[in-house]
Each structure stands twice: as C-alpha cells, then as structure tokens.
A and B are shown apart, each in its own frame.
Chain A
Amino acid sequence: MLNRPSARVPGRRLLTMVLSALLLCTLGCSRPSPQEALSGYRIPTLRRIQQDGTMRVGYVVYPPTVVKNPNTGELSGHFVDAARFIADVMKVRVQFVEATWSTFVAGLQSGQFDLSIAATYRTIPRATAVAFTTPIIYIGNGAIVRRGDTRFRSLSDFDKPAITIAVAQGEASHEYALQHLPTAHLTVLSTADLSQPLTEVIAGRADVGLADAWTTAQFAAKHPEVVDLFAGQPYDLTPVGWAVRQNDTEFLNFVNTAVDYLISTGRMRDWERKYGAHWVYPKVTWEITQ
C-alpha cells in the first residue's frame, strides 16, 4: 500500500494551525479574574468612568421612568433625565444600553453596563444579586378584573382555588401571589411585557391580572372592559431603586450621594411631574433646629 503522507499533510497542517490559533487566542486574551469579572473591570468603576469619559447605563423601557419613542428611538423619562444630569455634572458621556427585565441583572454582572436605572423593586432576594441604591420612589401593586365582576373587593377574595391569577414570572406581583395567595391557581407568564397578565383577563383566561400599580392604571385607562380594582390605593408598597454590581461599593456610594442630592433638591420630583408620574413618597417634615 502506497504511503502518501503528502496527501494528508495539508489538511492536518491547516487544522493544526486553526486549532493552535484558537488556543493561543483563548490563553493569550486578557481574562479578568472572577473578582474582576464580577466587578466588570480591573480598576474601580468610578475611576474608570472618569478616565474613559463614559458611563454605561442600562435601562428597561418602563414609562414614565424610561420612555423610548418607538418611532425615533429617542430616550426620555425621569430616570433618564436623572442619569443624564449625573453624567453632565461628572462631565462624562452617558451611553445607554437597553436590557430586559430578565437580563438586566446579568447585564450588570457581566459588565455590559455600570449602572442599571431599571425601576427595580428593592427586595431581599434581589439584593443578594445586585447592590441597590437608596430608595428613589415607592411603587405598589394593582389588580385588573373584568368590569362587572363583583366577586372581588379585597385581596383576600383572590385567595381561592377556583380563582385564576395571571402574573409575570419574577415580577413583584408573582412573589406577592406566591406568599400571600397560596390557594389561588397561578398562571405564570414568562414575558417582558408587563401588561400580558392583564391581557389574560381580557381574553378570559384569568379572573385577575396582577402587575405594578402604574401598569394596571394605564391598562385600565385603555381598556374599558376591565377595572383597576385598587386604583389609587396600591398594595404591597415596595421601594424602587437603581442597581450596581454587588461589590461595587465605591460606585454605589457615589450613586447614592447623587440620588440623595436629586431627591432633596427637588430635581427628581420636577422630572417626575414633567412625565406625569404619580409615585408614592414618604411624607417628610423639615424643621430648622432651634
């Protein structure tokens, strides 16, 4: 049998070269340590932002905190205005990176952005994954039921085996329903659309749809066939804040300082009024020390 190494060598050489190149690239590429990977960078975030001149801000479209004009792509909303103000004062550019409710945590952790201005409920389980700022606003939850459905007057009326409640997976309403409405039948939707559980009520697939109070109010206003059961009286009031990476203490301190400044000087409320927001705030009385 003829030995024809020359016929075998070109393919083997090519393959070896390709694999070697891939291996070198993998080994030679600068990889962050796990700690650096978690923080996203080798140098502290605040210093890096000042050096690069760019602050990457992640957002999830949730009017009126973050509004995206679907036709032009232009961003607005009171959280966007606040982020732009902070960047202006720092004299850095702000680069907005869009995320979804299911991906913004991973976006922070992987360094896609430094600060998330998604209007996130500051809950204990979530605080194990990200570091929240001080509360910026408070949002409660609401419920949508069909107009004329007289079965429901309070939350306890939901907690029956014959009642089907629609919620968005991972959303605060989902957590509330699991804890407080254990006997009801839950339809848990994996969706980025916060109004989808409410559409379940319109479609007759659920008796109740739970979502945050802003979404239920807006939805009820657009759909006369349903009512917002707790309009003006949201339940399960929860603080909402921005988020940074879990171990990004220096940057968190900075953002907290900025948030406190914007709230105490009234700038945050001015922006909220501009976009027609009606969030809940603790009532604060100021007095001058005698």
Chain B
Amino acid sequence: MGYHWDFAIVFRFAPALLHGTVLTLELTAITIVFGTLLGALVEVLRRVPSRLASFVVALYIEVFRALPLLVLLVWLYYLLPLAWGIRISSFLTAAIAMTVNLSAFAAVTIRSGLEAVPRGQNEAALALGMNPSQVLFRIVLPQTARVLLPNLLGLYITMLKLSSLASVIAVYELLHSANTVISQVYRPLEIYTVIALIYLILVLPMSYLSKRLESRVQPRPA
C-alpha cells in the first residue's frame, strides 16, 4: 500500500520540535553535571573507612543501577507528593530521577578509572615529596581522565537517549512535543522520522568524540 508522505506539516510545527530539542538538551545537561558530581561523591563516600558507609553506598549503587529509569520516573513523580506532600514539576522530577540513575553508573565508572592507576604511582609520588593534592591533580587525575572520559561519554549519550522516557510524565522534551504535534495532525510517520533525525544529529557528534577519546586512550603498538 502506498503512503503519501507530507513533510510540509513538520515545518509548521518546527518551533514546537525546536523547543522540545532544547528541553531535551537542558534535561540532559543538568543530569550530566549533577549525576557526575553525585557519582563522584558516592565514590568518595565509598572510600570512607566505615562499614556502614560501604554498606549504604553499595546499596545505593545496586538499587539505582537495578531500577529501570522509567519505573523510577513514575514512582518518584507520584511517591513524592503522596508520601511527603512534596509537589515538584515533572521536569524537576525527571532531572532528579535521571541524575540519581546516572550517579550510580558514574560512581562505578569513576571507581574503575581511579583503580586503573597503579597504587605504586601514588606511593612513589608521595615518597618523592609530593603532597596528596599534588598526587591527585598531577599524577592520578590526568591518567584517570584518559580512561574515564570515553566511558563517561558513553553514559552521557545513553542519558540523552533515555531523556525521551520523561515524556511519560509529560515533560516537554522532544518525544512528548512530537506526540503533541501528532495529536493535532495525525501524521506520526513524518514526525517520528524528523525526531529520529534530530536524535541522530544530537547523538552522532558525541559518539564520534567518544571514539576519538577512546583511540587516544588505547596504547600505541610498539
């Protein structure tokens, strides 16, 4: 059966799709910044010499890595007002859910990055008279960053794509904006084709950057 494509309607609603794209980027940017910081904090807490701290951190990581983001989104959106009378916007709820989700994965990634630096280098640097902050910023972090960045970028790309789940609680990111347009024009194929292209435009540069960083991390053959 032939289908009559009509992309003209997309131009009529370009502002709506642009607004949805901007909101997607805002939501993702907030998630990346706060999710990474929270993940780093979780990893720092894990290094506190306390069994209780280790238990709490381990529980946090396991719970928020296991929970599907969609479940976490809807659960938070309705649990917060019902259990604690906290009413926040759907955007803020989505930002919190995505931040917490990312932080669990970021903590594990940061840990593996830090552990990639041989302990002997720490000890050697201390023995040479460097203080702990010099060791951290001149020895550990530069090496860690080379390992961390490609992995973190991979997580960030995933969060960008997962931001579409926020549509289920009516956050006006790209997918929800698209669904609103579809409810007016009943041309889903054209709209979904365009938002697929938009996602490609957003994701592909990040994927390329991630691959470039990965190739720089890989040791050169002798």
Known: A199-B189, A202-B1. A63 touches B56 (CB 8 A): no
A32 proximal to B (CB < 8 A): yes
Residues in A neighbouring B3, C-beta threshold 8 A = 202, 225
Is A37 in contact with chain B by the CB < 8 A criterion? yes
Segment of B42-50, B96-104, B133-141 engaged in the interface with chain A: B42-50
Which residues from chain A contact B19 at a C-beta distance below 8 Å? 71
Q: Which residue of B53, B167, B169, B185 is within 8 Å of A15 (Cβ)?
A: B53
Interface centre among A63, A71, A202 (most CB of B within 10 A): A71
Q: Chain B residues near A194 (CB, 8 Å)?
A: 183
With A and B bound together, what is the CA distance between A228 and B15 in angstroms?
Answer: 31
CB distance from B196 to the nearest CB of A (A): 15
Asked if A37 contacts B82 (CB within 8 A), the reply is yes
When distances are taken between beta carbons in the complex, the residues of chain B under 8 Å from A14 are 48
- Check B186–A223 contact: CB distance below 8 A: yes
If A100-B168, A103-B168 touch, does A15 touch B179 (CB 8 Å cutoff)?
A: no
Asked, given contacts A12-B50, A71-B16, A100-B168, whether A204 binds B85 with beta carbons under 8 Å apart, the answer is: no
- Least CB distance from B115 to A in Å reads 19
- Return chain A residues, CB-CB under 8 Å to B85: 29-32, 111
- Asked if A192 and B168 make an inter-chain contact with CB atoms under 8 angstroms apart, the answer reads yes
Residues from chain A with a CB closer than 8 A to the CB of B82 are 32, 37, 109-111
Q: Does B182 contact A (CB under 8 A)?
A: yes
B1 & A70 in contact (Cβ 8 Å cutoff): no
A148 to chain B, nearest CB (A): 9
Q: Assuming A15-B45, A110-B82, is B169 touching A219 (CB within 8 A)?
A: no
State the Cβ distance, B185 to closest chain A Cβ, in Å: 7
Q: Which residue of A lies closest to B79 (CB)?
A: A110
Does B180 lie at the interface of the complex (its beta carbon under 8 Å from any beta carbon of A)? yes
B13 within 8 A of A: yes
Supposing A99-B170, A100-B170, A196-B188 touch, asked if A15 and B81 sit within 8 A by C-beta, the answer is: no
Residue among A12, A107, A215 making CB contact with B48, cutoff 8 Å: A12
Interface of B is mostly: helix
A258 to chain B, nearest CB (A): 25
A27 smallest CB distance to B (angstroms): 11
A:182-240 near B, CB below 8 Å: 192-196, 199, 202, 204, 215, 218-219, 221-225
Enumerate chain A residues within 8 angstroms of B52, measured Cβ to Cβ.
Answer: 12, 15, 19
B residues within 8 A CB of A221? 186
Contacts A63-B183, A195-B188 given; indicate if A19 touches B56 (C-beta within 8 A): yes
- Cα A11 to Cα B56 with chains together (Å): 13
CA distance A7 to B13 in the complex (A): 61
CB of A169 within 8 Å of the partner chain: no
Knowing A109-B82, A112-B81, say if A218 contacts B49 (CB, 8 Å).
no
Q: Is there an interface contact between B16 and A31, defined as CB atoms closer than 8 Å?
A: no
Whether a CB of chain A sits under 8 angstroms from the CB of B161 is no
Q: How far is the CA of A215 from the CA of B183 in the complex (A)?
A: 9
Give the total number of A-B pairs whose CB atoms are below 8 A apart: 119
Q: Please name all residues of chain A whose beta carbon is closer than 8 Å to the beta carbon of B7 when the two chains form the complex.
A: none
Contact partners of A112 in chain B: CB under 8 A: 77-78, 81, 87
Cα of A33 to Cα of B167 in the assembled complex, Å: 30
In the complex, A68 has a CB within 8 A of chain B? yes
B37 at the interface (CB under 8 A from A): no
A181 adjacent to chain B (CB < 8 Å)? no
B2: interface (CB < 8 Å): yes
| Cβ B168 vs Cβ A102 within 8 A | yes
B24 at the interface (CB under 8 A from A): no
Contact A110 B78 (CB under 8 A): yes
A178: chain B residues at CB < 8 Å are none
Shortest CB–CB separation between residue B170 and chain A, in angstroms?
4
Let me know if B184 is at the binding interface, CB within 8 A. yes
A73 to B81, CA, bound (A): 25
Q: Once the chains are docked, how many angstroms separate the CA of A32 from the CA of B85?
A: 7
Q: 9 A-B pairs, CB-CB below 8 angstroms?
A: A40-B81, A70-B15, A100-B169, A100-B170, A103-B169, A106-B74, A109-B78, A111-B82, A111-B87
Given contacts A11-B50, A15-B53, 17 further A-B contacts (CB under 8 A): A11-B53, A29-B84, A62-B183, A63-B183, A68-B180, A71-B16, A72-B15, A103-B74, A106-B78, A109-B82, A111-B82, A192-B168, A202-B189, A204-B1, A222-B186, A223-B4, A225-B4
Hey, which bits of chain B sit against chain A, CB under 8 A?
A: 1-4, 13, 15-16, 19, 45, 48-50, 52-53, 56, 74, 77-79, 81-85, 87, 90, 167-170, 172, 177, 179-189
